[in-house]
Structure formats: C-alpha cells, structure tokens
Amino acid sequence: MPELPEVETTRRGIAPHLEGRRVRELVVREPRLRWPVDPALADHLRGALLGPVERRAKYLLLPAGGAGTLILHLGMSGSLRVVPADTPPERHDHLDLVLEDGQALRLRDPRRFGAALWQPAGTTHPRLAELGPEPLGPDFHGDYLYRASRGRRAAVKAFIMDNQVVVGVGNIYATEALFRAGIDPRRGAGRIGRERYRRLADAIRAVLAEAIEAGGTTLRDFTRSDGAPGYFRIQLAAYGRAGEPCPACGRTLVTSRVGQRATVRCPACQT
C-alpha cells in the first residue's frame, strides 16, 4: 500500500502539471471504487481552475476553484499519471481528469480500493475530520506523543500507526522509526517515557523525510508519477530483513506480531 512518502512523491510529481490549469471534463470509466464515485463529481469539476495540490495524510487534495476540492486516495494499488488525454486507456485506468491543455490526470487502480471524493467549499470531508497531526508538521513532537500515550495499553507500534494519533506512519516507516529509536514495537504505549518518545518522534520525522527525498519505497504496486520506482527500500534497516544481521549490533533480526501484522525488530537494540 502506498504510504505517506509515496503519496507525497506523487503530489510533487503531478503538481506542476495541474496547478493553474482548467478542467475540461472528468471521465469515469469505472465508478465502483472503494466508495462509488458520485455522478455529480463531473459537474463539480467541469471548468474549474485547479489550485495548489496539497496532501493530508495519504489523501491528495486538488482545490477546484471556489466550489470545493477533489480528494483522491490511491488505496492499495493505485497510481496517478499525467498523460496526453487521447492516450488509449488500459484495463485498470478508471478515471481521467481531463485538462483544457490536452493533458489528463489518470487514475489506475487494479484493486479498486482507491477513491475520488468531493469536499464542498467551507466543509471538511468526514474522511479527513478526525485525522491526527501531520508527522512532519509543527504539532507533532515527542511531548505530544507522550501526552497522547498516557493510559494507552496498545503496543507502541499500533499506537503510532493510529491515524487519530498521527497520520501517515504506515507499517514500513513505523518499523524503521522504532528500530532507530531503540524501542521494542511490542512495548505498551503508556509504558514509554517522555525522552524515549522524543527520540521516536525525531526518528519518525527523519525516516519519512529521507523516504520522501529518495522518492518513496519501492513496492510491488507503486511507481512514481513519472513511471520510475522509488529508491528508499535499499536503505531500510529492519523492515523485510527478518533473519538477517542487525546493522547496529549483528544480532539476528526477528519477527514478532503486533496486532494482525508481522514486525521486524532487534532483540538486543530494541527494548
């Protein structure tokens, strides 16, 4: 599943092709995405002048004039490309945002877990309403995590992957951040002290920033907006490396379960 760095990489890739352009039409070939595409969406977007492309968590926000905002989510396997509007669509190309300059933003989504939603001006879509702070924003820091964790019995990995606590820290980057901070992912969130949460917040910011600069993590279903894969995976220290030596101490990395997910940790470095 594309995580925050992959979505931010996509935002940076498509923004120069969309901002300041006017929409000619929305072509919906398959409305049965994660949530059915509203038939009125095409009317909302027709003729709209697109503003700066933004990101909230893993959602891409395309302001459409003063009427509202198109919200796109890539789901588990979605990707976006800017292509000439007359490019023949392939099997999983479900939606085109066609611009007056002859280009189109094309959503490809083989598993159809993505979404195209509408947020009227002056409102907040329910999918965005209860999200926690951005991990790279000023409201996210170790003291915030410490306060939010008091009384929490959930494992710390599940805690930082909760979008109501902080957005966009998915499985890969949670694993890496906890490794860097030296924290056992199974440890109860409420049993971690303030200083350790400060180290964890710093690690989360660092690993996400590095992944964004590297172009996201190469996954089976993800490529950048220009069609090239991301390059961060070669830098991963823990995720996907169970059975290999810890890069810090040499002990064998092991797999544990946190909730329904497997997670990799070093039994010596992470306590």
Task: Say if CB 95 and CB 116 are below 8 A apart.
Answer: yes
CA distance 77 to 267: 33
User: Does 112 count as an annotated binding residue?
Assistant: no
Assign 232 a pLDDT band (cuts: 50, 70, 90): low
Assign 214 a pLDDT band (cuts: 50, 70, 90): confident
User: Does 220 count as an annotated binding residue?
Assistant: no
User: What is the amino acid identity at position 91?
Assistant: R
Within 10 Å of residue 170's Cβ, how many Cβ atoms? 20
CA distance 65 to 148: 37
CA distance 208 to 64: 29
Q: Which of 55, 58, 81, 241 is catalytic?
A: 58
**Per-residue model confidence (pLDDT) at position 68:** 98
Q: Which of 92, 97, 51, 53 is nearest to 75 (CA)?
A: 92
What b/e sequence results for 227-264 when a residue is b if at least 16 CB atoms lie within 10 Å of its CB, and e otherwise? eeebebbeebbbbebeeeebeeeeeebeebebeeeebb
Q: Region 154-182: what's the mean pLDDT?
A: 96
Out of 2-6, 36-40, 252-256, which region has the weakest mean confidence (pLDDT)?
2-6
**Per-residue model confidence (pLDDT) at position 233:** 62
**Residue 231 scores a pLDDT above 70:** no
User: What is the amino acid identity at position 106?
Assistant: R
Show Cβ contacts of residue 201 under 8 Å, excluding neighbours closer than 6 positions. 140, 141, 142, 144, 145
pTM: 0.89
CA distance 136 to 205: 6
**Residue 21 scores a pLDDT above 80:** yes
Assign 98 a pLDDT band (cuts: 50, 70, 90): very high
Assign 251 a pLDDT band (cuts: 50, 70, 90): very high
Assign 222 a pLDDT band (cuts: 50, 70, 90): low
**Per-residue model confidence (pLDDT) at position 64:** 97
Assign 225 a pLDDT band (cuts: 50, 70, 90): low
**Residue 229 scores a pLDDT above 80:** no
| 58 in catalytic set | yes
Domains annotated on the chain, with CATH = 4-129 (3.20.190.10), 142-265 (1.10.8.50)
Q: Which of 46, 89, 261, 267 is catalytic?
A: 261
**Per-residue model confidence (pLDDT) at position 226:** 66
Out of 69-83, 113-127, 146-160, 225-239, which region has the weakest mean confidence (pLDDT)?
225-239
Assign 223 a pLDDT band (cuts: 50, 70, 90): low
* Tens of pLDDT, residues 107-133: 999 999 999 999 999 999 999 999 999
| 153 in catalytic set | no
User: Does 92 count as an annotated binding residue?
Assistant: yes
